[in-house]
Amino acid sequence: MIYQDFKPCPLCGASGQIPYANCTDFTVSKESYTLMRCPSCGVVYTLDPPREDEMSRYDKVNLKLKLGDSPSGLIGRLYYHVRNLMLRKKVRIVESQSYRTGGSLLNYGAKTGFFSHKMEKRGWKVTSVEKYHEERLFSLEMFHHRMIDVPEMDALHAGTFDVITLWHVFEHCHNPHELLDRFYELLRPGGILIMACPNICSTDAMYYGPYWAAYDVPRHLWHFNPSSISALAYKHGFTLMHHEKMPFDSFYISILSEKHLHHRMSFLRGMIHGLHSWRISLTRRSKSSSLVYVFRKRITSE
């Protein structure tokens, strides 16, 4: 196939798109999707994904696990322990990178609201955006925290947020350009945008190839590395200030990848490969399974 036959890059419009991998939706539909790589901006993307209004058929809503009603068994207890550690890490990133211990925070794609609740308890004024009704309802009942639906974001005032967070959300978004522009408007001058995304240059991505669980097609539309996401954000007025690893993702993603491969002892094998990936990321952050990016809103164009 000739590269010029493919449509231009959906992010930068460049032609000459290159097939990158063929992946399967192992968790829901079992459908196959092609990943493409843009030779110009470097982003990898899912070719012809379902439309936004079709995506609820593919999204995994696993409230029971997220809820935390009675963790049972080793895996359940491990999950809760890791989630609490991750919440503490997210708090530390927000407060250390914003140099604030309180302020105004927009949590976009807030899911069941554990992070929003944690930040509220620390004194932050939190606005949460969540597209799924079940998750908004859960947050209301569990934390008495009212989340807004995506269209309600239109009513938010420009320049009112100190921090905007997207924890493993941006790779799901059909409208990345529009969203980044809106975040730029909503942030105060000097405010920060924090986004956590899987990293396609990670050790575990290289090892598992098309079975790497964090491709998670067709839910993940964009597959970034540090250079492609920072180039995109830069075009929208953001400068990358800092990035750091998400320590447990290499284990979780490796275990899931082993399951996709139908390997025996997938948990043990995943832990071993997760440990290997994690150890490499200690000295080479850019090889981490997932990365948290901290962008600062530029005051003027550079």
State the residues that interact with Zn ion by CB under 5 A. Answer: 9, 11-12, 14, 38, 40-41
Tokens of 161: 């947020």
Cis geometry, peptide bond prior to residue 198 (ω within 30 degrees of 0): no
* Smallest distance from Zn ion to CB 17, Å: 8
- 3-state DSSP of 61-101: CCHHHHHCCCCCHHHHHHHHHHHHHHHHHHHHHHHHHHCCC
* Smallest distance from Zn ion to CB 289, Å: 24
